[in-house]
């Protein structure tokens, strides 16, 4: 597998591209450009024109133009610079005719390469913290690198290693054809016919150019793709063999054993953890759900720069904004308004029912309900064994115990929350596969081994809830079964969709048989940026055909990117984020269009989970980026769905082992010890909006409540493509805003008319200086362990800034403000009546 990430695309006028790689296997290839490879970490086996070399940390090699090369490594990080020779037209020396012998593996004189490494370190340093004049610096470094190569590493060609263009064109055509037809019954005779060559000549030609026979190359190519498919448990061994061009299973097993030394089935079991918990775009394409955070090169780059420049990589200096965006808008307050339902408050999420019993989680829920007031709560694990819901006696008869469920539901109702009763996951005594568990809490996600016993459990629990809380109350709740059944069998899904369809219908029928007025929905289908909702609509088609159409639809949306590369999605442990700023809106557009086409647009749609990522260790989640992200996406899509259930309320959850670090990039609105993050303040601001929408535009959202007005502003910036691709070259626990290259202030001038009278104007502000617990902790000096008094102090100071002013207007009320990058600001305009006392 190849994991290549392009980091810097220098402008077209500059003859260089700069990459960072995490290497698996890169098959044989060549290009016209020079390529300088510097290994930063790990070990790389590289073959150049059939000559093998081994590079360790700090080694480098120069690949000359048109040299065939391949790379192999278990886990290495390297820098690669590709120099496009045809763009160096102004250089007097004809570089295309030159050969460079620059390879640390061939010499014991490391000092020879000191300047080369210094130049690479400078390129890294200057492009991480780039200024507006970076192009000039890059140009100078490119030419300095070429000068160094020409002066100290030019060499006479030996052994005819350079191949003429005609030969390369022929080889390229041959390999392109083989690569396009490898999964078909391909023969050397067929390829020879394509090139009008004799079979013996082509056989010798292939061996000479690539160092291995045609059959060996074809077998390796097929194995390369087959290994990826082995990581997908939904594909059987025979299907993998047929899919990748092997004539039969035996030939595949034999070839695999020769290369990897074991059976494909054994290899699959050993490497299953690589995709454990994957969420699939289809049943054959997946992305890893357990991704901790974007792969960070910060430490490796910093060490390389320090070793070769004698100075460490430092954070970018405080940015001076050379420009700021300006918006001027005239707002007619007398035009017709739109009624707002505030659907963003319909759901909040806690990871597991068990966690509702934790004191810290209860404290967070009380606070959120007092200050925001959500209506429903989504939780997993209602039937998990740690709630002791289901057991069996020695004769296999069911034993039920709902005491801990009662305690959790009692508390939720006491703070004004109604449950989405999600029947999940599988009690051990009912599980068909005790080994099918996920997450740190080992929740069992296998289907029931006895559907009748499952139905009796659902019936008994539902009747218990009605008996305890009353039919009128329970009819106001929502019911569903399972979580993200569209995901892989390695996570929540099953090997066959029909297994979930049967589980859904049985559960639906059981609940409806008790009381048809109980609202039963689903299927908690997982969606992402640029992913089709085909699975969801196949489920809806089944439910319509089998008289179990849900009363409401539940979906999950995460702003992660599953765009396939080279017609497939890499099965590495990387999680990409959406590079598109309005992907949230695009998903809703796509979903509503499909529902309309299927005549299902009347069904309520509850988004019960959403966030920018599924990662519990994305360092941006603690920052003001997330608060501006929340405001942007909710105000731009206000009330378009029936809920926007933010996932999660708190970092105190048991999906992963809880990190020791306080600000570790968790998904919660609170830290695990209930310090409010900027995203929490975003929901508080939303909660203070009025019930009528007056106007909206880029960066602003204006509402009215009676004769008072509320203006919600945000200055959102999207991360760069580097971070979107799952790479962080400069982000660290102390620097989390480095992947926003074009941060600017935003000036807004809003003229509200006609308005006349006296008004109090109150500004509530959250930015890096006010209301950001992470930034406050950084200013205090991040400690390894925060004391109780430290935490309490951080809670007290991490609140929005309040500013008030009084004004009189006789026609136009002008609001003029400048927002810092990532700032959110709520401006509340309250009319002052004669004789009213004003508190400032």
Provide mean pLDDT across the span 283-312: 63
pLDDT at 625: 97
CATH of 3-155, one of 3.40.50.10440, 2.40.110.10, 1.10.3480.10, 2.60.120.10: 2.60.120.10
- Residue 760 pLDDT greater than 90, yes or no: yes
Residue intervals of the chain classified under CATH 1.10.10.60 are 165-275
CA-CA-CA-CA torsion for 413, 418, 422, 425, nearest 10 degrees?
A: -30
DSSP 333: T
Q: How far apart are CA 821 and CA 806, in angstroms?
A: 27
Give the SS3 label for residue 760.
Answer: strand
- 522 or 86, higher pLDDT: 522
What's the angle, vertex CA 240, arms to CA 239 and CA 243, rounded to 5? 80
Lowest mean pLDDT among 108-122, 185-199, 273-287, 774-788: 273-287
Provide mean pLDDT across the span 90-114: 79
What tokens were used for 335? Answer: 């035009």
pLDDT at 205: 85
Question: Of 651, 636, 535, 523, nearest to 594 (Cα)?
Answer: 535
Provide mean pLDDT across the span 189-197: 88
Q: What's the residue count for the chain?
A: 840
pLDDT at 674: 95
pLDDT digits (tens, 9 = 90+) for 372-384: 999 999 999 999 9
Element of type H or E holding 128: helix 114-128
Please identify every residue annotated as catalytic.
Answer: 484
Percent of the chain at pLDDT > 90 equals: 54
pLDDT digits (tens, 9 = 90+) for 491-513: 899 989 999 999 999 999 999 99
Residue intervals of the chain classified under CATH 2.60.120.10 are 3-155
Provide mean pLDDT across the span 403-414: 98
- Residue 100 pLDDT greater than 80, yes or no: yes
Element of type H or E holding 36: strand 34-41
- 198 or 128, higher pLDDT: 198
**pLDDT tier at 630 (50, 70, 90 boundaries)?**
very high
pLDDT at 209: 75
- Residue 281 pLDDT greater than 80, yes or no: no
Lowest mean pLDDT among 31-35, 642-646, 821-825: 31-35
CA distances for 185 relative to 101, 215, 244, 490, 606, angstroms: 41, 12, 10, 32, 49
pLDDT at 163: 54
Phi, psi torsion values for 621, nearest 5 degrees: -65, -20
**pLDDT tier at 572 (50, 70, 90 boundaries)?**
very low
E strands in 511-584: 519-520, 522-529, 553-561
**pLDDT tier at 89 (50, 70, 90 boundaries)?**
low
- Residue 730 pLDDT greater than 80, yes or no: no
Percent of the chain at pLDDT > 70 equals: 85
Contact 396, 347 (CB under 8 A): no
**pLDDT tier at 549 (50, 70, 90 boundaries)?**
very high
Phi, psi torsion values for 5, nearest 5 degrees: -130, 115
- 255 or 461, higher pLDDT: 461
pLDDT at 335: 94
CA distances for 821 relative to 45, 417, 653, 745, 839, angstroms: 45, 35, 31, 5, 31
**pLDDT tier at 90 (50, 70, 90 boundaries)?**
low
- 86 or 189, higher pLDDT: 189
Out of 217-226, 272-281, 460-469, the most confident range is 460-469
- Residue 628 pLDDT greater than 60, yes or no: yes
Provide mean pLDDT across the span 225-231: 81
pLDDT at 139: 81
Provide mean pLDDT across the span 815-840: 85
- Residue 94 pLDDT greater than 50, yes or no: yes
- Residue 583 pLDDT greater than 90, yes or no: yes
pLDDT digits (tens, 9 = 90+) for 698-720: 999 999 999 999 999 999 999 88
Provide mean pLDDT across the span 453-478: 98
pLDDT at 92: 52
- Residue 637 pLDDT greater than 60, yes or no: yes
Contact 756, 811 (CB under 8 A): yes
pLDDT at 296: 64
pLDDT digits (tens, 9 = 90+) for 313-354: 555 444 444 456 777 899 999 999 999 999 999 999 999 999
Q: How far apart are CA 230 and CA 221, in angstroms?
A: 15
- Residue 737 pLDDT greater than 60, yes or no: yes
pLDDT at 132: 65
Provide mean pLDDT across the span 261-268: 86
What's the mean pLDDT when you consider all of the chain?
85
- Residue 189 pLDDT greater than 60, yes or no: yes
Provide mean pLDDT across the span 761-789: 90
Q: How far apart are CA 715 and CA 632, in angstroms?
A: 8
- Residue 162 pLDDT greater than 80, yes or no: no
**pLDDT tier at 227 (50, 70, 90 boundaries)?**
confident
Contact 395, 455 (CB under 8 A): no
**pLDDT tier at 160 (50, 70, 90 boundaries)?**
very low
**pLDDT tier at 69 (50, 70, 90 boundaries)?**
confident
pLDDT at 563: 47
pLDDT at 568: 33
Query: Is CATH 1.10.10.60 the right assignment for the domain spanning 165-275?
Result: yes
**pLDDT tier at 616 (50, 70, 90 boundaries)?**
confident
- Residue 175 pLDDT greater than 90, yes or no: no
pLDDT at 326: 79
- Residue 287 pLDDT greater than 90, yes or no: no
Sign for the pseudo-dihedral over CA of 563, 568, 571, 572: negative
Provide mean pLDDT across the span 745-774: 96
Q: How far apart are CA 205 and CA 170, in angstroms?
A: 10
Question: Of 575, 567, 725, nearest to 225 (Cα)?
Answer: 567
- Residue 14 pLDDT greater than 60, yes or no: no
pLDDT at 565: 40
- Residue 275 pLDDT greater than 80, yes or no: no
């Amino acid at each position: 597998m190849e994991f290549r990430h392009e980091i810097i695309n220098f402008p077209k006028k500059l003859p260089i591209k700069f990459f960072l790689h995490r290497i698996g296997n890169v098959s044989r290839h060549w290009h016209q450009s020079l390529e300088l490879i510097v290994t930063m970490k790990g070990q790389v086996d590289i073959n150049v024109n059939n000559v093998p070399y081994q590079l360790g940390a700090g080694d480098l090699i120069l690949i000359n133009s048109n040299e065939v090369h391949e790379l192999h490594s278990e886990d290495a990080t390297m820098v690669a610079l590709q120099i496009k020779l045809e763009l160096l037209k102004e250089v007097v020396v004809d570089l295309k005719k030159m050969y460079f012998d620059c390879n640390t593996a061939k010499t014991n004189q490391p000092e020879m390469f000191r300047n080369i490494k210094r130049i690479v370190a400078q390129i890294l340093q200057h492009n991480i913290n780039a200024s507006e004049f970076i192009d000039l610096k890059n140009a100078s470094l490119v030419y300095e690198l070429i000068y160094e190569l020409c002066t100290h590493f030019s060499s006479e060609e030996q052994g005819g290693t350079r191949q003429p263009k005609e030969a390369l064109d022929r080889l390229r055509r041959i390999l392109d054809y083989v690569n396009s037809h490898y999964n078909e019954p391909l023969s050397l005779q067929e390829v020879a016919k394509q090139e009008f060559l004799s079979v013996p000549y082509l056989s010798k030609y292939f061996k000479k150019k690539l160092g291995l026979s045609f059959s060996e190359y074809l077998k390796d190519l097929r194995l390369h793709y087959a290994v990826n498919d082995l990581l997908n448990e939904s594909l059987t061994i025979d299907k993998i063999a047929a899919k990748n061009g092997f004539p039969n299973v035996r030939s595949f097993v034999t070839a695999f054993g020769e290369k990897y030394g074991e059976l494909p089935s054994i290899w699959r079991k050993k490497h299953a953890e690589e995709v454990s918990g994957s969420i699939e775009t289809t049943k054959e394409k997946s992305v890893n759900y357990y991704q901790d955070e974007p792969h960070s090169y910060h430490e490796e780059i910093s060490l390389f720069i320090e070793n070769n420049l004698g100075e460490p990589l430092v954070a970018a200096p405080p940015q001076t904004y050379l420009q700021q965006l300006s918006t001027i808008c005239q707002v007619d307050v007398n035009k017709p308004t739109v009624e707002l339902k505030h659907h963003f408050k319909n759901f909040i999420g806690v990871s597991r029912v068990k966690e509702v019993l934790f004191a810290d989680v209860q404290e967070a829920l009380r606070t959120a309900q007092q200050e925001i007031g959500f209506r429903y709560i989504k939780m997993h694990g209602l039937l998990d064994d740690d709630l002791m819901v289901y057991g069996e006696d020695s004769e296999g008869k069911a034993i039920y115990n709902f005491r801990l469920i009662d305690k959790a539901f009692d508390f939720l109702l006491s703070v004004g929350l109604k449950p989405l009763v999600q029947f999940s996951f599988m009690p051990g005594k009912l599980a068909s596969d005790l080994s099918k568990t996920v997450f740190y809490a080992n929740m069992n996600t296998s289907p029931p081994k006895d559907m009748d016993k499952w139905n009796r459990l659902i019936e008994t629990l539902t009747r218990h809830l009605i008996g305890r809380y009353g039919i009128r109350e329970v009819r106001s709740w929502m019911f569903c079964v399972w979580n993200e059944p569209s995901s892989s069998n390695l996570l929540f899904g099953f090997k066959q969709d029909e297994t979930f369809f049967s589980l859904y219908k049985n559960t639906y029928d059981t609940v409806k048989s008790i009381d048809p007025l109980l609202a039963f929905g689903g299927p908690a289908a997982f969606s992402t940026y640029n992913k089709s909702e085909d699975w969801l609509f196949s489920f809806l088609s089944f439910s319509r055909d089998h008289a179990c159409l849900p009363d409401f639809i539940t979906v999950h949306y995460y702003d992660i990117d599953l765009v396939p590369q080279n017609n497939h999605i890499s099965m590495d442990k990387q999680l990409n984020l959406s590079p598109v700023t309005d992907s949230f809106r695009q998903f809703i557009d796509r979903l509503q269009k499909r529902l309309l086409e299927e005549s299902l647009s009347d069904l309520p749609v509850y988004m019960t989970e959403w966030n920018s990522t599924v990662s519990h260790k994305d360092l941006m989640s603690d920052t003001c980026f997330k608060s501006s992200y929340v405001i942007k996406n909710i105000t731009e899509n206000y009330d378009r769905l029936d809920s926007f259930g933010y996932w999660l309320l708190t970092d105190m959850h048991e999906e992963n082992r809880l990190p020791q670090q306080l600000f570790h990039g968790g998904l919660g609105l609170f830290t695990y010890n209930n310090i409010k993050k900027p995203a929490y303040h975003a929901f508080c601001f939303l909660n203070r909006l009025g019930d009528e929408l007056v106007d909206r535009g880029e960066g602003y959202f204006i509402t009215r409540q009676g004769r008072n007005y509320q203006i919600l502003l945000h200055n959102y910036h999207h991360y760069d493509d580097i971070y979107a691709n799952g790479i962080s070259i400069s982000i660290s626990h102390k620097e989390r805003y480095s992947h926003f290259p074009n941060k600017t202030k935003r000036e807004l001038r809003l003229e509200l008319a006609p308005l006349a009278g006296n008004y109090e104007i109150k500004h509530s502000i959250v930015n890096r200086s006010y209301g950001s617990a992470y930034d406050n902790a950084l200013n205090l000096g991040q400690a390894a362990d925060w004391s109780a008094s430290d935490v309490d102090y951080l809670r007290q100071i991490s609140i929005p800034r309040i500013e008030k002013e009084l004004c009189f207007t006789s026609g136009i009320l002008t609001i003029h403000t400048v927002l810092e990058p990532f700032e959110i600001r709520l401006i509340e305009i309250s009319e002052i009546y004669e004789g009213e006392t004003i508190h400032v």
